[in-house]
Chain A
Amino acid sequence: MYILRSISVLMLTVFLYSCAQQGGIVDETTGLYEKPGMSYLDKQMSVPAKIYFDYDSYLLDSVAEGTLDIQVTWMDENPAKFILIEGHCDERGTREYNLALGERRANSVKEYLASMGIDESRLNIVSYGKERPDEEGSHDDAWTLNRRSVTTLDVDR
């Protein structure tokens, strides 16, 4: 899973840098450029918005940190943008516990971004617990994709 994920993120990054924009839409509530299964901070699709977590974990693995590093570069280049980090969980936990866990995941991302020099005043977090899955379905593949954080643009600020 890890290897797969690392490879896919790497490949995508390389691919996307060299790729013109095609056929996505900008989500008005998150400011993200959305393609099926993928979300980006920009239309060039160079900055993936989502990172993934293990079950009941809020720790960042190296793949997640790699993605966040790309986000940091983007944030440095776009200093006027405010960020809202969403924390999400799979459905294999109780509602309230997952709200807490989602907050913890979003906060992990926030702390990492701040540690890389992003001003904390630009970073807000929100937990959706298990209320907003990314992938429908009650099976492992969906749950893997739903244990995530999404770095969105804080369009309300």
Chain B
Amino acid sequence: MKNIKKIIFTFLIFILFVVNANAELRIDITSGYTEPTPIGINDFIGTNDEEKIVAKQITKLVIADLNNSGLFKVIDPKAYIQKITNPSIIPKFPDWKVINAQALIVGSTQLNESGNIRIEFRLWDVFAEQQMAGWAFSTTRSNWRQISHRIADKVYERLTGEIGYFDTRIAYIAESGPQKKRIKRLAIMDQDGANHRFLTDGNNLVLTPRFSPSQQELTYLSYIGRIPRVYLLDIETGKQEIVGDFPGMTFAPRFSPYGDHVIMSLATDGNSDIYSYNLKTNIRKQLTTYRGIDTSPSYSPKGKKIAFNSDRGGSPQIYVMNNKGKKIKRISFGKGRYSTPVWSPRGDYIAFTKYFNDTFYIGVMTPEGKGERVISKGFLVEGPTWTPNGRMIAYTRKDYPIKKKEGKTRIFLIDLTGFHEKEVITPLEASDPAWSPLLD
């Protein structure tokens, strides 16, 4: 995190050669399946060996990010006819049209004496023969990964109109050992799997990590001393503290959108209710009083409303209330048992887990309970988490058993439209993903 503060981002838009909005390339990612858009990425240009090494690293990562989004297919560089060595020239568009590159990225790296790198790149619309945008970034050389993600973010944003999510992290639970004595450890990594590290040693069972909006802290459940309680963890310092002094099991924590509260369940005497806990004043507020199960609370992006899971109707269903615990309204009415509502950061959807006819589903519906749509299903899928742009959902998937052997538990990522499903690769089996918010 400290590294991030050191980065100096400069941002500039080069003069556009042509402005012709109607003809502009725009990838529509809102309307279901789209074939990945083929694009070309000219190797980032460096003029000496040092620069060439950095340039190569960056090129590779930008390609990986854009390919992983499922929205783009970077054309194999072997097919490129033109090899651009001067970043300031206008590309030979016919050479790129013939290999069907819809867009072209041309960038360059320069190292200066203080060890900083400066990266410039332009995004070209090949068929409209115009520059769509150009940017320049400066940072320390050790930040080449982050800068690469930022480049991919810029391209993603310019071509889709949505905010990029490549410069983010995933916290999750790493699993190992037999099911009966499963070892679970809190882990964190960049969204592309780089910089993986374990945050706990596996001595205590840990579950359900969630990011604070500042991205510096996680809240999660730990069985320290064999008592399940909600904790906070400072990701950088490793400092861990209990959240509140509650007279029972606390679980299912989530931060409020401004990070000043944690909302969670408290279970006492066979009754789980939802409480909010003010991290500054240490004041706790009971929000639900139904004698049964109220759990998995999730704030709306502005913090005015809370979606949660309750069995008050006889089976687990999803309800929405205001942040004072009033105006409780059921929103799930389809067939099956609904749980784990998670409000999209855009506010337009609530993702959920549904169980019906021996099958689990990940789906989305509007906060009013309209437009329910299933986007993934399996033997066991659960626990959705949104990318910060509200376009993708990651979740836990346990495979169907093969013969008597239990399936593996892994994290998958899928587009809101239900396409481009892809495993998020982790060193061990993995569950309970939490996608970080965007860095500033």
Which A residues are closer than 8 A to B by beta carbons? Answer: 29, 56, 58, 84, 91-97, 99-101, 103-104, 107-108, 111, 126-129, 131-134, 136-139, 156
User: B382 to A133, Cβ gap below 8 A?
Assistant: no
B407 close to A126 (CB less than 8 A) = no
B269 pairs with A95, CB closer than 8 A: no
For the complex, would chain B's binding face be called helix, strand, loop or mixed by DSSP majority?
strand
Rounded to whole Å, the gap between the CB of B401 and the closest CB of chain A is 4
B269 & A137 in contact (Cβ 8 Å cutoff): no
**CB-based nearest A residue for B173:** A95
Contact B180 A96 (CB under 8 A): no
Contact B228 A136 (CB under 8 A): no
Report the 5 A-B pairs with minimum CB-CB distance, sorted nearest first. Answer: A107-B270, A100-B272, A138-B401, A103-B267, A96-B252
Task: Decide if A104 touches B270 in the complex (CB within 8 Å).
Answer: yes
With a cutoff of 8 Å between Cβ atoms, the chain B residues found around residue A93 in the complex are 316, 337, 339, 355
Specify the chain B residue showing the minimal Cβ separation from A101: B293
B332 interface residue, CB < 8 Å from A? no
Given A95-B432, A134-B180, A138-B406, CB of A100 within 8 Å of CB of B383: no
Residues of B within 8 A of A132 (CB): 180, 182
Given A126-B226, A133-B180, A138-B407, A95 contacting B208 (CB threshold 8 A): yes
21 contacts between A and B (CB under 8 A): A29-B226, A56-B315, A84-B226, A92-B355, A93-B339, A94-B309, A94-B339, A94-B382, A95-B382, A96-B251, A97-B295, A99-B251, A99-B295, A101-B293, A103-B248, A104-B271, A104-B272, A131-B207, A136-B180, A137-B404, A156-B226
Q: Which single residue of chain A is at the shortest CB-CB distance from B273? A: A100
Alpha-carbon distance between A123 and B229 when the two chains are bound, in angstroms: 19
Interface residues of B in 76-129 (CB under 8 A from A): none
Question: Is A100's CB under 8 angstroms from B293's CB?
Answer: yes
- Interface contact A108-B270, CB-CB below 8 Å: yes
Residue of A nearest to B294 (CB): A100
Partner among B265, B269, B311, B404 whose Cβ is within 8 Å of the Cβ of A96? B265
- Which among A58, A93, A95, A101 has the highest number of chain B CB atoms within 10 Å? A95
Determine whether the beta carbon of A96 is less than 8 Å from that of B339: yes
Whether A133 contacts B179 by the Cβ 8 Å rule is yes
A142 to chain B, nearest CB (A): 9
A35 to B182, CA, bound (A): 20
Provided the pairs A126-B228, A136-B180 are in contact, do residues A95 and B207 lie with their beta carbons within 8 angstroms? yes
Contact B432 A103 (CB under 8 A): no
In the complex formed, the residue of A with least CB distance to B340 is A94
Evaluate contact between A127 and B249: CB separation under 8 angstroms: yes
Residues of B within 8 A of A56 (CB): 311, 315-316
Q: Which residue of B lies closest to A138 (CB)?
A: B401
Decide if B383 touches A97 in the complex (CB within 8 Å): no
Does B53 have its Cβ within 8 Å of any Cβ on chain A? no
With a cutoff of 8 Å between Cβ atoms, the chain A residues found around residue B249 in the complex are 99, 103, 126-127
Q: Is B353 an interface residue (CB 8 A)?
A: yes
Tell yes or no: B296 within 8 A of A by CB.
yes
Residue of A nearest to B309 (CB): A97
**A137, B293: Cα distance in complex, Å:** 27
Contacts of B313 in A (CB 8 A): none
Q: Say yes or no for B380: interface residue by CB 8 A criterion.
A: yes
A107 surroundings in chain B (CB, below 8 A): 269-270
Known: A97-B293, A99-B228, A132-B180. A127 touches B267 (CB 8 A): yes
Contact A99–B382 (Cβ < 8 Å): no
Question: With A56-B315, A97-B296, A97-B339 as given contacts, are A137 and B401 in contact (CB-CB < 8 Å)?
Answer: yes
Are the CB atoms of B295 and A96 closer together than 8 Å? yes
* Contact among B207, B248, B400, B406 with A137 in the assembled complex (CB-CB below 8 Å): B406
Q: Known contacts A127-B249, A137-B401; decide if A96 and B296 are in contact (CB<8 Å).
A: yes
